[in-house]
A and B are shown apart, each in its own frame.
Chain A
Amino acid sequence: MTTESAAASLGPALSGRRRGILDRFGDRGLYLITLAAAIGSVVILGGLTYKVIDEASSAISSYGLGFLTTSNWDPVHEQFGAAQLLYGTAVSSFGALLLATPLSIAIALFLTELAPRGTRTPIATLVELLAGIPSVILGLWGILVLGPAMQSTIEPALHSALGWIPVIGSLFGGEYGIVGLFPAIVILTIMTVPIVSSLTREIFTTVPPTAKEGALALGGTRWEMIKTVVLPYSRPGIVAAVMLGLGRAVGEAIAVSQVIGGAPGIHANLFLPAQSAAGQIAAQYLGATGPATAALAYLAVILLLLSVVFNAMARILVRAVQQRASQT
C-alpha cells in the first residue's frame, strides 16, 4: 500500500512534464543538428564525386584509358590526352617529396630528441605556421623571388655541380628559366614540409620512452638510439605522413600553376616549363566548352582517385601504428 501511494505521488515529478520545452527536447535537437552536419559532409562528397564523373563521362567513353598515354591537348581539334599533364604532376610531386621527406624527418627529430626543451614548442609552432600561408602567396613569392634566383644562381650552380653525371645529369640541363618544373618542386616542398614534419613529430612522440632509455643505458649515442629505436618504430607512420603529403602535392593547383610555366611537355630537364593536371584544370576550366570541359573533368576524376588512394593508404598505415602502440 505504501509503495503504491509513493509511486502515485512521484509519478508527475518523474514524467518530465514539469521541465521546459527546450529542456525536454534539447538533447533530441542537438542529435538531429549534429546528425545533419555529419550526413551533409557525406552527401557533399558523394554528390561531388558523382558530378565530376558525370561531367567526365563523355570524355571517359570517347578517350578511354588512352587518355592517360596520349600527349596532345588541342581544344580546337577536340583532341585530348593527359600524359604531359600527369608527367608534370608526377615529377613535381615526387620531386617535392624527395626533398621534403628527409627535411621533415630531420625537423621532427630535432624537435623531439635534440633541441633544447624550451625551444621545441616555439619552433614546432613556426613550422606549422608555414602550412597556413595561402598557396597563392607562396606562388607569388615563387614568381618574384624564387624564380629569378633560380634562373640567375641556383639552376646554373646545380647544372655545373650535377649536369656532368650520366643519366641524372640530364635532369639538370643547361637551359634556365624563371618558371619550370624545378621551381614547382621547391614550392611544393615548402608546402608539404609543415604537414609531413608535424605528423612525423607526433609519431616520434609515440615511441615508448622505456625503449629509448634502454638504448641509451646500453651505451648508445643519441644517433644510435634514434637508429635503433625511434626510426624503426616510426617507419609505418612516416610512410603514412609522406602519403598525406603526396596527396597535398598532387592536388595543389594555384601555386604550381604560378611557377610551373603552363606549357605541357615531357622532358627530363627539370629547368624547363611544364604543366600539372591540377594546374591545367585551374588554368583552363573557365574558358572551356563542351569536349574540353569533359576532358578537364576526366583529369579531375584521375586526381580525385589518386587522392583517395593516397589517403586510404595513409589511413591503413596509421591504424597499424595505433594498434601496435596500444599493445606496448
Chain B
Amino acid sequence: MPRSPGEAESAPRPPESQTMSGPPAGIEEMHATRHVRLEDLNAYYGSNHAVKDVNLSFEPGRVTAIIGPSGCGKSTMVRCVNRMHEEIPGARSDGHVLLDDVDLHASNVDVVSVRRLVGMVFQKPNPFPTMSISDNVASGLRFTGTPRGEISDRVESALEGAGLWNEVKDRLSSPGMGLSGGQQQRLCIARALAVEPDVLLMDEPCSALDPVATLKIEELIGQLKEKVTIAIVTHNMQQAGRVADTTAFMLDGELIEVGPTDKMFTTPDDDRTEQYVTGKFG
C-alpha cells in the first residue's frame, strides 16, 4: 500500500488517549477532543476505484453524517479511518487519515493501536456469539490488558454510556445474542465505548433496526457526541437530518459537497446534492 514517506518519519505513533493516561475515569469523564482529517484519500477493491480523492474532516463535539446512494463508497471511506478496509482481500488505499496530527496510514503506525483509538459499530449488530452480555463489553478491555479488578466497573460504565444498563443489569451473564436487535446494537456500542476510544465510526448502525430502536440509537448519538468524535454513515436522509451537525454527500466515490446539515438539506450548493436530498434519485 502506498504511504506517505515524509509523514511516516515525523509521525511516531497515534496520540495516547487522554483517558488512558490517568486512572480509569469511566465513560462519564470522556470528552471529544480529536479531529479526524481525510486528505486526498483513495480506496480501491482490486481495479475498482471506490473512493476518489476525498478531503473531509470529522470535528469533535459535532456529528458528521455521510450520505449517498448505495455503492457510493461511503462505508469504504469510513473503513479507511480505522484501517478495516485493508482486511478485505485485494483492497488497498492511499492518501492520509490524520488523527490530530498523526497519519494513521503511515507505515510505522501500528494497526491494532489505531483500532483501539478509533472504534466502530457495524451495519448488523455483531455481538460475539458465544459470550455473555458483560463478557462482550469486557472483551476489548481484555485486549488492552485492563486489570481484572477494574473490568466490572468499566463494563457498567460502558453499558450506562450506551443506555443499556437498566435493561440488562439483572442478566449480565446471559448470552448477548439473546437480546433484541436494538439492544444488541447498543451492546456493540457499549463494547466499542468500553475501551474509551477517541473516535467512533458508525456504519449504517440502524439499517437492521425497527423505528423505536432506531430512535433510541439516535438519542444515544446525541448524548455521545460530547464524549467522542462521531462519524455516521447512513442511507437514511431523515436520520442524517436528525442526528448530524455536518453532512457530507458522496456520489460514485467522490465527495460532492459537505456543509452544515440544515444548509445541505435546504440550500445545497451542488445540483446533484439537491437532487439527492429532494429524492430525485438514489
Contact = CB atoms under 8 A, between A and B. Distances in A.
A and B, one complex? yes
Contacts of B127: 211, 214
Given A213-B87, A217-B82, A219-B195, A328 B177 contact: yes
B126 A210 contact: yes
Nearest to A116: B89
B22 interface: no
B122 A216 contact: no
B27 interface: no
Given A210-B124, A228-B128, A328-B129, A218 B84 contact: no
B115 A218 contact: yes
Interface string B83-100: 010010100000000000
B140 A218 contact: yes
B143 A208 contact: no
Interface string B130-145: 1100000001100110
A224 interface: yes
Contacts of A211: 126-129
Contact of B116 (A210, A219, A229, A324): A219
Nearest to A221: B112
B37 interface: no
B239 interface: no
B140 to A, nearest CB: 4
B32 interface: no
B130 A232 contact: yes
Nearest to B114: A219
B230 to A, nearest CB: 15
B182 interface: no
Given A208-B126, A213-B126, A219-B195, A224 B143 contact: yes
A220 interface: yes
Contacts of A172: none
A: interface residue count bin: 20 to 34
A215 B191 CA distance: 10
A219 B128 contact: no
A218 B139 contact: yes
A117 B91 CA distance: 13
B129 A219 contact: no
A328 B195 CA distance: 26
B188 interface: yes
A216 B191 CA distance: 13
A235 B130 CA distance: 10
Contacts of A232: 128-131
B89 A233 contact: no
Contacts of A228: 128, 131, 139
B120 interface: yes
Interface string B104-129: 00000000110110011010101111
A214 B143 contact: no
B19 to A, nearest CB: 14
Contact of A215 (B89, B124, B139): B139
A166 B43 CA distance: 60
28 contacts: A117-B89, A210-B124, A210-B126, A211-B129, A213-B126, A215-B128, A217-B82, A217-B84, A217-B119, A218-B119, A218-B139, A218-B192, A219-B112, A219-B113, A219-B116, A219-B140, A219-B143, A219-B144, A219-B195, A220-B115, A220-B139, A221-B143, A224-B143, A228-B131, A229-B130, A235-B130, A324-B129, A328-B129
Q: What are the 6 A-B residue pairs with the smallest beta carbon separation, nearest first?
A: A219-B116, A232-B130, A210-B126, A219-B115, A217-B120, A218-B140
Interface of B: 82, 84, 87, 89, 112-113, 115-116, 119-120, 122, 124, 126-131, 139-140, 143-144, 177, 188, 191-192, 195
Interface of A: 117, 208, 210-211, 213-221, 224, 228-229, 232-233, 235, 324, 327-328
Given A210-B124, A217-B192, 20 more contacts: A117-B89, A208-B126, A208-B129, A211-B127, A215-B128, A215-B139, A217-B122, A218-B115, A218-B119, A218-B191, A219-B112, A219-B116, A219-B140, A219-B143, A219-B144, A219-B195, A220-B112, A221-B143, A232-B128, A235-B130
